[in-house]
Structure 1
Amino acid sequence: MIFEDLLISYGADYKKYRTNDVIFAEGENPSFYYQILDGKVKINNYNDQGKEFIQRILSVGEIIVVTALFIDRPYPMNAVAIEDCKVIRLPKQNFFNLLSQRPEFYTKFLKYISESMYYKHIMMQTLSFQKPENRLKTLMNYLKEKQEEQSPFSFQVPYTRQQLASLTGLSVETVIRVTKLMEKNDDLKIKNRKIFY
């Protein structure tokens, strides 16, 4: 989103995280702008019974919850590395200094935040579906629409069955059962345990 050298010129530094390291936790106050350079990060919460709900999985080039910097409230979620990753982080005040001196980035952030909100609305809609197949299809359609190739089974779903379950509020067993049914109905293909939609 923002060039590394520009972030460095405003005081950013690099930070490495191992798999399962917490980048920030629910209840902490936002202190940094985070941009992923390598690896993947999940944004999650846990319900009262300890079940994980993954709100989003972010990868290279994406920003970790930039919206939290614009309000004076603690994070309502966690950010956790799901594989070894490297991020560049810029202190909050330096981030605002950058924006005030480079206002062209406001448009980029507005688009990024709008896309993020669109995704959240899509996922909230899926949670209202009773049929697990509709939940999975909505998520897969959203992910696939960003790809250039739109032919059947051209998109490899980048998530594990566990991650699909956590993203859609389903159990792993339900995801496994429904994806097998979807394959039988020719809605997707499973090759070497990978899902192609």
Structure 2
Amino acid sequence: MIQKELLDHYGAVEKRYEKSDVIFEVGTNAHYYYQIISGEVKMNNYNEEGKEFIQGFFKPGESFGEPPLFVNRLYPANAIATEDSVILAIKKDLFKQFLLEHPSEAISIIENLAQRLHYKAVMAAEIASEDPEHRVLQLIDYAINHFDLSKDDNGYLVDFTRQQIGDLTGLRVETVIRAIKSLEKKQMLKIINRKVYREI
């Protein structure tokens, strides 16, 4: 996360969005760098049949939608607030100036984008698999290794709803539920008070 004080110095403004508000739409121009102060944002697409595919969820401290800022392309996905959110926005030209004057922050942005590319490559390979259990477990293990999941005596808490797991793996919710129950029977997951845990 880039410190708010640094971004403020380059003209960042706070924007407030209510749950379900659209921050930007697929096919529109990128004008701002966005970083979440509070709330949550999802990026998604819809296919011709109207089925939603979620590119990812973004939480406080995270940024989203950066690639079009650097290649002058249109947004390839929508960004929607999944809960009431406060987001820092800084104009593209000012953000590029900031990166030129703060190379260590530029490296952090590159590392963040590289991690997302790695995630997409891993999940693209998994979605090609016909094994729902493997897809679900791969998503959970990736989240444990690369995201800040909380851990207690039960293991790592999987901070995704069944619907979100389905959207991220290309599976129906019913299939996700069956896969999780099967993985519980195989003692690869725990379900405690409807919450899913993974021990590693």
TM-score of the alignment, normalized to the shorter chain, above 0.5? yes
Q: How does 1:156-195 map to 2 (within 5 A)?
A: 156-195=157-196
1:195, CA displacement in angstroms? Answer: 0.8
Query: 1:46 matched to which residue of 2?
Result: 46
Provide the alpha-carbon RMSD of the alignment.
1.7
Query: 1:36 matched to which residue of 2?
Result: 36
Q: In 2, distance between residues paired with 1:169 and 1:148?
A: 22
AA of the residue aligned to 1:37: I
Q: In 2, distance between residues paired with 1:6 and 1:25?
A: 27
TM-score (norm 1): 0.95
Query: 1:131 matched to which residue of 2?
Result: 131
2:158 aligns to what SS in structure 1? coil
**Gap runs ≥5 in structure 1:** none
AA of the residue aligned to 2:172: S
Spell out structure 1 runs of 4+ moving beyond 6 A: 148-152
Q: In 1, distance between residues paired with 2:81 and 2:120?
A: 20
Q: In 2, distance between residues paired with 1:57 and 1:29?
A: 21
How many residues were matched structurally? 197
Query: 1:119 matched to which residue of 2?
Result: 119
AA of the residue aligned to 1:84: D
CA contact (8 A) 2:40 2:60 kept: yes
User: Are the structure 2 counterparts of residues 12 and 110 from structure 1 closer, same or farther at C-alpha, using a change threshold of 3 Å?
Assistant: same
Q: Deviations over 1:78-122 (max 9, x none)?
A: 111111111101011110111122222221111111111111111
Query: 1:56 matched to which residue of 2?
Result: 56
Q: In 2, distance between residues paired with 1:55 and 1:149?
A: 22
User: Are the structure 2 counterparts of residues 2 and 47 from structure 1 closer, same or farther at C-alpha, using a change threshold of 3 Å?
Assistant: same
1:133, CA displacement in angstroms? Answer: 0.5
Most deviating of 26-35 and 152-161: 152-161
Identity of aligned residues (%): 41
CA contact (8 A) 1:40 1:82 kept: yes
AA of the residue aligned to 1:107: I
Most deviating of 143-152 and 51-60: 143-152
CA contact (8 A) 2:157 2:195 kept: yes
TM-score (norm 2): 0.93
Most deviating of 26-35 and 120-129: 120-129
AA of the residue aligned to 1:51: K
Q: In 1, distance between residues paired with 2:94 and 2:141?
A: 37
Query: 1:18 matched to which residue of 2?
Result: 18
Q: In 2, distance between residues paired with 1:149 and 1:92?
A: 34
CA contact (8 A) 1:144 1:150 kept: no
